[in-house]
Structure 1
């Protein structure tokens, strides 16, 4: 891990005992993008799955432990899960989509937006919760945080779903292709005012974010309006290139209008080799994107964001040289195909360096889904109950922790991914932290969680039986803590967790006795209740320990 546990310096950072991992002064991680050659075991398999999926199950870690590194990475990068369309599950007044049918592609009614968006966000959470052992959903969320739109600004459910589908279908694909698609997508045209960008009255909104946030990024300001990588004049020239596009109403298509396009030659600065882009009509925006992607800094900018997403927020000179630059070379040499970069990153010695294990705080979405997936919570199969559970225990529970799918707080994305010096500390605040504790207590403490039309539960016995020797207390404690927690605990922490399984004054053989009694007569309610209570108390303690917030 990057550091032992440090005290919080802000009153809003309230992880128990002030556990905030951070690289200590003077620590230099010398490992780089060279392939990892150490032992492949449960620890490395767990780390890979924690960073690339939304929470592994115990059987997933066991499966990946049996693979080689190359086999594990191939599985992580194999994303071909079909996209299920969101259903109308609760709106009897939708004029176009009956209950049980999808509204995708159908016209919008005057009052359909809220309930359709509700079903979309529920379905999105369901996709995350039920995703396989691959990086597809994590990358979909990465692109959502990169090419940000806000569904409440767009206010057109088909635009929003089309945008989400675009991100998901291109999650592991070509960055240039995705940038081109996003640029003329109805969602982005509406969100960043591309609809208003016309000859004679260029709107710079999208052109500015295309450069600053989506591709090359700002460098140091070296003069008035000059940000090293581009200038204010470049933004204006890019805006002129992008004129003429409109999102079509009641459609997920956009259209180029020749009469609205600026046909002049657009002069760019020395940052782009003084390039001139002449009129190319509807193909002109692709020339702009190609020009930006030709710059070495663009590949570095994207790779820094990938590094922060999957490894750690801090990028020092050593990391820049050993990781970012070679990752950027791979991206450029593969014509901006993303998968080769991810393969190199997830195979690297740097990724598995002990300093990079258990050093980031889980996002609210990560935290919630990891609990459900770690414990193999049983969600309903009937679609109305399913959507209700995904909404109440998924989307809404993540949203009250200040992470709303489809609605990042700004065009820059979630502050935890870009705002120094706090970065991932923004995920745990005085607002969000209590909800984490409530969920952990609720899930582990209540046999069945019931809501409007649904119930979910987890089986503590099934979890214990996946350990190698569930009747042996030391083995059970060790294997469950290794599964649930990303880093080793102190002796005092382990003793505390043990006290939740072995009551004060009892020895380990007490657990062996009650487990054996349960196995001999599982229908005996008294024996079953004793074991179930002890297991749930132990699991609840694991979920409430500070280290469970880390990945």
Structure 2
């Protein structure tokens, strides 16, 4: 697959042209896990700024997942028998994963962001084990996903999942553990080696010490113990005092505001616009700088930065469309949303399983640096896995109700599907909707057209006594759309968004 160089020279100036189908699809594929044909068609002709504000407002007001009954359970609340306990823990975890995956499918930008932040403020479930800690962590991600980044950093560091994952629970004042202090700067706020020293890490670890009281019952919340905190003077970023946890956050955001803004805006840019921010031909660095200025000016509120980016000419530039490789969750959820096929929790569970097999296991990024995304999603094994699993899903939808495929084709092709007797016309409309920028050239379209016409009687075109073909009336039309979807799912362009 070709590696896309970022040649986008457009600016952060507002995109003022009415949205066409290409850009409406682009917006929904990036801000969420895509949308139905109907939703995308409703966006065509709208003003980008108005629609973006609506989607951002929706995310700001989105409630987190409802609190499960086991949200505050400790080990004492589980069966004493190990097998029974393990079975109940796994059941709770599976149900929670199902609820969260459904949220990703339906909550657009809100859970697109909470999932993004789970790959920034990384924890791994196998380290801390407790389902109550998992819920607290995900709840923190959802509540802060489009809120204030400073508040986010402060809250995430005191979640039980993070305290266990990065050894905060072992950070005693008389024997500081530097793990969380290092990752706070390197991964969560500043970037590797950017604006901090080893001495800053050592002194910060002392200031963060004391959150070590774990109780006598497993999965008990971690609390602060004053006698385990280093009460001496510490010097962090040139500021000296008897600092504690809150002081670290205050000093970090006061003394390194520009570095934080640049680092976080770079990550947002690479996730939402283009994986290549170190371009020579494009304008990425200027865009990131403009976003960072907005971030600082708005006291680290996330929403204003995203509004600015998503409304911009840069975001809607042709060079930004179809240049990001779909993650496994994008791959499956986009297909589910865009086809609008009937699904149930069994299908969502399959998607969770398939994504895990393709190295994107829900709640468990590969390490503290998270999934590296984009090109790492594609190798020989993963691409074959994508083909086989998506083909299986598409076949299951066809077996369940093959008329769904006719409905899909008609929703995309509109009047052409009702009246056109040329299947190539209809096939092109379907291809250009499903693929972010269509196929590479006309010879590739010809191959796809042949697939769409295959295994059906040669009576498509008007003339003589032949019956006229239309997508709306032809008995085998659902199978034609099914064959085309199976073919497209194996194309390189289908892997892109």
Note whether the superposition's TM-score is higher than 0.5. Answer: yes
SS of the residue corresponding to residue 223 of structure 2 reads strand
Aligned to 1:15: none
Q: Could you say if the C-alpha distance between residues 539 and 341 of structure 1 is closer, same or farther in structure 2, counting changes exceeding 3 Å? A: same
Aligned to 1:499: 450
Task: State whether residues 208 and 244 of structure 2, in contact with CA within 8 Å, keep that contact through their aligned partners in structure 1.
Answer: no
Q: How many residue pairs get matched?
A: 472
Asked if 1:337 corresponds to 2:337, the answer is no
Asked if 1:379 corresponds to 2:343, the answer is yes
Aligned to 2:355: 398
Q: Could you say if the C-alpha distance between residues 342 and 485 of structure 1 is closer, same or farther in structure 2, counting changes exceeding 3 Å? A: same
Aligned to 1:188: 162
Aligned to 1:441: 391
Farther-moved stretch of structure 1 (402-411 vs 257-266): 257-266
Asked if 1:261 corresponds to 2:229, the answer is yes
Q: TM-score, normalised by structure 1?
A: 0.80
1:507 CA displacement: 6.8
1:135 CA displacement: 1.1
Of the three residues 394, 403, 426, the one matched with 2:376 is: 426
Aligned partners of 1:40, 1:400: CA distance in 2, in Å?
37
Asked if 1:83 corresponds to 2:83, the answer is no
Aligned partners of 2:427, 2:194: CA distance in 1, in Å?
55
Q: Could you say if the C-alpha distance between residues 462 and 194 of structure 1 is closer, same or farther in structure 2, counting changes exceeding 3 Å? A: same
Aligned partners of 1:512, 1:145: CA distance in 2, in Å?
55
Farther-moved stretch of structure 1 (531-540 vs 301-310): 531-540
Asked if 1:152 corresponds to 2:118, the answer is no
Of the three residues 434, 454, 460, the one matched with 2:405 is: 460
Farther-moved stretch of structure 1 (53-62 vs 197-206): 53-62
Task: State whether residues 32 and 319 of structure 1, in contact with CA within 8 Å, keep that contact through their aligned partners in structure 2.
Answer: yes
Of the three residues 42, 46, 62, the one matched with 1:67 is: 46
For residues 215-239 of structure 1, give each alpha carbon's deviation from its aligned partner in whole angstroms, at most 9, with x where no partner exists.
0112xxxxxxxx4511101000110
Task: State whether residues 11 and 312 of structure 2, in contact with CA within 8 Å, keep that contact through their aligned partners in structure 1.
Answer: yes
SS of the residue corresponding to residue 453 of structure 2 reads coil
Task: State whether residues 234 and 243 of structure 2, in contact with CA within 8 Å, keep that contact through their aligned partners in structure 1.
Answer: no
Task: State whether residues 261 and 296 of structure 2, in contact with CA within 8 Å, keep that contact through their aligned partners in structure 1.
Answer: yes
Greater share of residues in helix: 2
1:121 CA displacement: 1.9
Of the three residues 484, 489, 496, the one matched with 1:543 is: 489
Task: State whether residues 242 and 284 of structure 1, in contact with CA within 8 Å, keep that contact through their aligned partners in structure 2.
Answer: no
For residues 171-230 of structure 1, give each alpha carbon's deviation from its aligned partner in whole angstroms, at most 9, with x where no partner exists.
111100010000111110011010111111000000000000000112xxxxxxxx4511
1:273-312 maps to which residues of 2 (within 5 A)?
274-276=238-240, 278-279=241-242, 281=244, 283-291=246-254, 294-312=256-274
Aligned to 2:36: 57
Structure 1 gap ranges (5+) = 1-18, 88-101, 219-226, 381-385, 417-423, 450-454, 520-526
Q: TM-score, normalised by structure 2?
A: 0.88
Task: State whether residues 186 and 247 of structure 1, in contact with CA within 8 Å, keep that contact through their aligned partners in structure 2.
Answer: no
Aligned partners of 1:282, 1:456: CA distance in 2, in Å?
57
Aligned to 2:198: 232
1:436 CA displacement: 1.1
Asked if 1:361 corresponds to 2:325, the answer is yes
SS of the residue corresponding to residue 415 of structure 1 reads coil
Aligned partners of 2:184, 2:398: CA distance in 1, in Å?
48
Task: State whether residues 32 and 323 of structure 1, in contact with CA within 8 Å, keep that contact through their aligned partners in structure 2.
Answer: yes
Aligned partners of 1:376, 1:50: CA distance in 2, in Å?
14
1:347 CA displacement: 1.1
Q: Could you say if the C-alpha distance between residues 21 and 75 of structure 1 is closer, same or farther in structure 2, counting changes exceeding 3 Å? A: farther
Aligned partners of 2:398, 2:284: CA distance in 1, in Å?
49
Q: Could you say if the C-alpha distance between residues 536 and 457 of structure 1 is closer, same or farther in structure 2, counting changes exceeding 3 Å? A: closer
SS of the residue corresponding to residue 195 of structure 2 reads coil
Aligned to 2:478: 532
For residues 241-273 of structure 1, give each alpha carbon's deviation from its aligned partner in whole angstroms, at most 9, with x where no partner exists.
1011146567785422211111111113xxx3x
1:325 CA displacement: 0.8
Task: State whether residues 185 and 247 of structure 1, in contact with CA within 8 Å, keep that contact through their aligned partners in structure 2.
Answer: no
